[in-house]
Structure 1
Amino acid sequence: MHLSQPYLLFLGDAPDHLAAKTARGIHQWRPDICVGQLRLPGCETTLGLPDLTVEEAAARGAATLVVGVANRGGVIADHWRAVFKDALANGLDIAAGLHQKLNDIPELVETAEEYGRMLFDVRHPTETFPVAHGVPRPGKRILAVGTDCSVGKMYAMLAMERTMKARGLKADFRATGQTGILIAGEGVSVDAVVADFISGATEVLCPANDDDHYDLVEGQGSLFHASYAGVSLGLLHGAQPDYLVLCHEPGRAHMRGLPGFALPDLDACMDLNLRCARLVNPEARFVGACFNTSALDDDAARRVMHEASERLGLPVVDPVRSGVEPLVDRVLGDA
């Protein structure tokens, strides 16, 4: 799935900042591909970008209208459709990561066909993927794994990509979820791939490359999550990672969506991920951990990360508070 850039970010009538988190993530990590925002009456958030009509965005070179807002149920509101049709008529493609598909709305499909434009439902892959082969391939791959869902795996890999590129290294973020795909402009939403082909899709996503090239593979779920462990395992085998980064939120009371399940011990989580990763790469190793300490004050965050670093014998960082330089140093030291 390859999206044309730059983007016009559609905020619709988002009631708050959280509702527009997809657009916010795109703007944070790829500000250079965002020409403006489109807000409807009632929108209560902004990215600080120019407010543009579809026509104005097209004149500025926008190639894709990205639906950067989510509502309850992930549906495409009826009053959004006129804007989407206007975008198609003005030469823009449309991309969305909602549960409801753009391609399931006949009037949008008809309009896209009339003007020769594309509708991208990034949550729903359309490619046919092979079964994984597990054969070693050149290039270096770094995979984020987690104690739970939604602990910062995408953020960690994007931060490492940015840091590595700033050092002049060959590095590319490989998106495996809908928001990551919209940020990167391409990728595979692996949680929507048929189970037998998750590892194969991941091999396609990060194929053989130069020996000094690094793929930063966005992780999903957790091997310890009763709902999503299958996707996590498929990524471990398909990515064939050389390096792993553990992602964790200190103080989280239970697994996301599963009140009866506690988060795993860090050592146990690392051990199981290593054992699974080493099925396809016996040299796989952890280079450190990324903690989401947003719920802690500065002193508590420093204490928690220092204690974990001492215990694990690896650097522990918060990508927001402290950056990921120590993890990149570790990768390059082990390369």
Structure 2
Amino acid sequence: MSTMKIKLPYVIFLGDVEDKTLVKTGAGLAKWCGDDVLGQLRLASCAVDLGLTELTLTEAIAKGAKSLVIGVATVGGSVKPSWLPTFVQALEAGLDIINGLHTNLSNIPELAEAQQKSSGQIINIRQVTGEFPIATGKKRRGMRLLTVGTDCAVGKKYTALELSLGLNTAGIDATFRATGQTGIMIAGEGLPVDSVVSDFVSGAAELISPDNNADHWDIIEGQGSLFNPSFSAVSLGLLHGSQPDAIIVCHDVARETISTCPDYQLPTLQACIDLHLQCARIVNPTVRCIGISVNTSSLNQDKREEYLQALEQELGLPCVDPLITGCDTLIKELMMQFYPQQTRLAHAEL
């Protein structure tokens, strides 16, 4: 896996985007790396606000910024021409640019020239180096959980982060395994699987979650969705390569159609569970679904509680919003499913 180091602190660049779903990178950094974030830098027509301190580039530098992090994840990973003057100025001022987009900024002439003339560097997180093996399919030691979803951008990363934190707090050895640009920025290491040639995605997933201690859990950040025609290939490769012992299905209660294909309806949660288990059983016949993670930010508290309770009754699984209700019930379910004797002893001591 590639390991990268971001010079701290940094300012998050939001550009001139109008859709809040395109700034999930910035939102993730604001939540998980708050002490390292000085503020946000927005162009005049930007309609998205993360609620951070508003900074110009000059103000960010005066506050000690060492890096400019692109907090936008555009469809296709393109770079808008309107962003380039800010990037050039940042490099000329000696700031690093942390780029999680598919576009290699080093291939843009004016940015390459600015980089050569200054101490600022372009760090392209998605530009993977080296060769990846094809998957072997061999069983590896240790335990693995993969977050999957009904669509893209439904909380797979946040669920994995919250769960790994909760497991470690509960005394269970767990590691968050980042597979996307935001997760890599948060964790400091990882592998952007959507930049790996399709034949080698499963092999890359094996590298992400190697042999480990028998009771160690790799909490692997899922990507895309088997139900999204645009990104299903990476989802299946990650599912087979990670050989999960458990999955958590992620969903957004406000979502009705596939994000990139609005003519496609979102699957039911039961259909999502069934298809993922069917595909995962090819590499791990004992895989199981231990719960549902739902983004309920569009609901008020009463509606949220009503929805999650009804969903639990329907599916017979714990259903949570990890950023609001936490992951305790998911952790309890994992313990009951995989460590039943320890769970019974713990209950007996209460």
Q: Normalising to structure 1: TM-score of the pair?
A: 0.85
- CA-based RMSD: 3.0
Aligned partner of residue 190 in structure 2, secondary structure: coil
Note the alpha carbon deviations across 1:168-225, whole angstroms, 9 max, x for none: 4432222222222222232222223211111011111222222232221111222222
Contact 1:54 1:90 in 2 (8 A): no
Contact 1:221 1:228 in 2 (8 A): yes
Code of the residue aligned with 2:12 in structure 1: it is: F
Note the alpha carbon deviations across 1:36-69, whole angstroms, 9 max, x for none: 5555666674543584757975985x65431124
2:244 paired with 1:227? no
The whole-number CA distance in structure 2 between the counterparts of 1:27 and 1:256 is: 24
The whole-number CA distance in structure 2 between the counterparts of 1:246 and 1:186 is: 24
The whole-number CA distance in structure 1 between the counterparts of 2:227 and 2:78 is: 30
Moved more, 168-177 or 35-44: 35-44
Contact 1:12 1:80 in 2 (8 A): no
Corresponding residue for 2:268? 265
Report the CA distance between 1:3 and its aligned residue: 2.4
Report the CA distance between 1:34 and its aligned residue: 2.8
Specify whether residues 181 and 283 from structure 1 end up closer, same or farther in structure 2 by C-alpha distance, changes over 3 A only: same
The whole-number CA distance in structure 2 between the counterparts of 1:332 and 1:168 is: 11
Where does structure 2 lack aligned partners over 5 or more consecutive residues? 340-350
Aligned partner of residue 267 in structure 1, secondary structure: helix
How many residue pairs get matched? 334
Corresponding residue for 1:3? 4
Specify whether residues 72 and 259 from structure 1 end up closer, same or farther in structure 2 by C-alpha distance, changes over 3 A only: closer
Contact 1:125 1:193 in 2 (8 A): yes
The whole-number CA distance in structure 2 between the counterparts of 1:223 and 1:56 is: 41
The whole-number CA distance in structure 2 between the counterparts of 1:295 and 1:224 is: 23
2:165 paired with 1:165? no
Corresponding residue for 1:48? 52
2:253 paired with 1:250? yes
Matches within 5 A, 1:170-189: 170-189=173-192
Note the alpha carbon deviations across 1:300-332, whole angstroms, 9 max, x for none: 222222122122221111112311111112223
Where does structure 1 lack aligned partners over 5 or more consecutive residues? none
Matches within 5 A, 1:32-47: 32-38=35-41, 45=49, 47=51
The whole-number CA distance in structure 2 between the counterparts of 1:59 and 1:251 is: 39
Identity among equivalent positions (%) equals 43
The whole-number CA distance in structure 2 between the counterparts of 1:173 and 1:58 is: 34
2:70 paired with 1:67? yes
